[in-house]
Amino acid sequence: MTLRHRHLLGIEGLAPPEITAILDLADDYATLNRSGDKHREALRGLTQINMFFENSTRTQASFEIAGMRLGADVMSMPMQASSIKKGETLIDTALTLNAMHPDLLVVRHPQSGAVNLLAQKVNCAVLNAGDGRHEHPTQALLDALTIRRAKGRLHRLTVAICGDIAHSRVARSNIHLLGKMESRLRLVGPPTLIPAGAADWGVEVCHDMVEGLRGADVVMMLRLQRERMDGAFIPSQREYYHRYGLDAEKLAHAAPDAIVMHPGPMNRGVEIDGTLADDINRSVIQEQVEMGVAVRMAAMDLLARALRADREEGVV
Ligand code: NCD
């Protein structure tokens, strides 16, 4: 299986069989990652450059590990020390890097759409590692893999995505993915944190946690993304936790075998109770991190195959 895309910019443009192909390959890589010899040669000879214009712990680390396990030459640009600080534009930085012949460019940027723009200027494969509040495709894929491994399927599940939907690229990518895979989606949060028009996305919108969690198979919590808020969106952190923070009492309204997810970084006592987040019988938060490496290996492997095919045909 190859992808018919040069880049992975979002889930919106992917077809369900492509999503399944990435997840199937990622499942194989998850097995490899638990073994003693984690090396494969899928990206051998290729250069991967990571450009993170926004802070990141797990996404950047897992892209680095994924590239190294598949034999790529991996370089993470120290963006704090780069020429961006001297006034160079994103596009100029991209063109400079492009001249060094990278094959895979992994980009995170605070502005929605910035990664798509950059992809038009370079002749390698670009992977979106999160752009503003737009998309974060590898996060939705790793969430899907975690759900599929826990529940055995992605269709006909009730998934409650809770909290700060308005500022979340994770929510947007998950809504695309789970919608395409025919799961039932509920967005749960205060009216100020649910985008206007969300009701037209083919999802249910709830402003009450008990109602929103009722019978849910999957409960996905989101961080309050203060760095993207300009003004007061919640009355107080305490009040928010009381109404929308996930604890055992609220979770009791979900299905008895519901799993709890969070993309991280997590704010304990703000959107989720710390004890619940650590409860290995309910929380799959660590599995999400584990699947992150596997999904990024699969995505870069498939994009590299497409890139090599394009190069053979002289398209790039
Ligand atoms: C998310 C992100 O950066 O969008 N984190 C992640 O990639 N694991 C979510 C967040 O920042 O809250």
Q: Are strands 259-261 and 218-221 parallel, antiparallel or unpaired?
A: parallel
Nearest ligand 1 atom, CA 169: 4
Three-state DSSP class for residue 45: coil
The answer, yes or no, to whether any atom of ligand 1 lies below 6 A from the CB of 263, is yes
Higher pLDDT, 83 or 279: 279
Cα angle, residue 71 at apex, residues 66 and 73 outer, rounded to 5°: 90
Q: Cα dist. 45→40, 41, 48, 71, 303 in Å?
A: 12, 9, 10, 7, 14
Three-state DSSP class for residue 277: helix
Test site for ligand 1: of 138, 139, 174, 266, most ligand atoms within 8 A of the Cβ: 139
Q: How confident is the model at residue 80 (pLDDT cuts 50, 70, 90)?
A: confident
| Per-residue pLDDT reduced to its tens digit, 126-147 | 999 999 999 999 999 999 999 9
The answer, yes or no, to whether any atom of ligand 1 lies below 6 A from the CB of 58, is yes
| Per-residue pLDDT reduced to its tens digit, 244-299 | 999 999 999 999 999 999 999 999 999 999 999 999 999 999 999 999 999 999 99
Q: Where are the alpha helices (DSSP H) in 245-284?
A: 248-251, 274-278
Q: How many CA atoms lie within 13 A of 220 on its CB side?
A: 27
Q: How confident is the model at residue 78 (pLDDT cuts 50, 70, 90)?
A: confident
Cα angle, residue 65 at apex, residues 295 and 111 outer, rounded to 5°: 70
Nearest ligand 1 atom, CA 170: 4
Burial class (CB in 10 A: 0-12, 13-18, 19+), 313: exposed
The answer to whether 306 and 6 have CB atoms below 8 angstroms apart is yes
Nearest ligand 1 atom, CA 139: 7
Q: How confident is the model at residue 226 (pLDDT cuts 50, 70, 90)?
A: confident
Q: Where are the alpha helices (DSSP H) in the chain?
A: 16-33, 58-69, 90-98, 114-119, 137-151, 169-180, 209-213, 237-244, 248-251, 274-278, 285-312
The answer, yes or no, to whether any atom of ligand 1 lies below 6 A from the CB of 172, is no
CA-nearest of 103, 2, 27, 99 to 295 is: 27
Specify the residue for token string 């998309």: 135
What does the pLDDT read at residue 220?
98
The answer to whether 9 and 135 have CB atoms below 8 angstroms apart is yes
The answer, yes or no, to whether any atom of ligand 1 lies below 6 A from the CB of 134, is no
Three-state DSSP class for residue 246: strand
The answer, yes or no, to whether any atom of ligand 1 lies below 6 A from the CB of 169, is yes
CA-nearest of 253, 288, 307, 290 to 127 is: 307
Burial class (CB in 10 A: 0-12, 13-18, 19+), 88: middle
Three-state DSSP class for residue 48: strand
pLDDT above 90 covers a percentage of the chain that reads: 84
Per-residue burial over 102-138, b if 16 or more Cβ lie within 10 Å, else e, is: bbbbbbbbeeeebbbebbeebebbbbbbbbbbbbbbb
Q: Provide the whole-model pTM.
A: 0.97
pLDDT above 70 covers a percentage of the chain that reads: 98
What does the pLDDT read at residue 250?
98
Q: How confident is the model at residue 199 (pLDDT cuts 50, 70, 90)?
A: confident
What does the pLDDT read at residue 127?
98
User: In the 8-state DSSP scheme, what is residue 90?
Assistant: H
